[in-house]
Amino acid sequence: MKIVSWNVAGFRACLRKGFRIFFEQTDADIVCLQEVKATKEQYDFHPQNYYEYLNAAERKGYSGVLIYTKQEPLTVTYGIGKKAFDCEGRLLTLEYKEFYLVNVYVPNVQRTLARMEFRIEWEKEFRRYIRKLDKEKPVIICGDFNVAHTEMDIKNAKQNRGNAGFTDEERLAFTNLLNLGLVDIYRNFYPDKLEAYTWWSYMKGVRERNIGWRIDYFLISKRWIKKVEDVHIYSSVYGSDHCPVGIQMKENIVQ
């Protein structure tokens, strides 16, 4: 079973840049998208044999998460139950018999760090939400976390220390999330891998020289890590300033 996650940085634009080809070739069982920036009426991709769930932001052209899944979930939850956060369309949870799947687009603190307080409060609520789910059944979380967790996850660590996406506060919040009993799947499989990035600036030549950040993750409840066969970063796939990431499970866990 294959699950793929991708911050498409505007779904309508990504559709014009080859998304359909990637979707068809990958043939994933579940595809989670972030930063969709559209309502369902604004894009024309509704593939057959997939159930489709969108949590759009109230603000037009902003944020939004979307899931395509071959298997109908038991329940679908939009947001975390806090109006101040849920109006931005950042969370979508599908419940299956054996696990929860959470698609998340974590708030960006902005270059000036103006949204740091909002981000930290959001992180606290997110941890409460995940802790509650994990008590019921294992959790798989994927999406754009807007943070490079360690110096291994960013090209120029020293120069970026304290910048948005690499502040002590954001990195600690990610550590605290893992401390709930979650595993960063990529680091579990590739603990020493360097220059494995998922986001690059649009500045000329940056992606070609692989001056990037790893800010897109798959996390899983520690007790379920043995069910994961492999994890992959599709660094050669364009269409966004992010690239897709995916995991291969050893069995079809949604049956």
Token pair 């996406």 is at which residue?
165
Query: Exposed, middle or buried, 250 (CB in 10 Å: 0-12/13-18/19+)?
Result: exposed
Q: How far apart are CA 233 and CA 36, in angstroms?
A: 20
CA distance 161 to 210: 19
Candidates 43, 50, 96, 105; catalytic one: 105
Whether the Cβ atoms of residue 255 and residue 243 lie closer than 8 Å to each other: no
Q: Which of 144, 184, 216, 241 is catalytic?
A: 144
SS3 20: helix
CA dist list (Å): 83 to 13, 61, 86: 29, 19, 5
Annotation marks residue 144 as catalytic:
yes
Active site residues: 105, 144
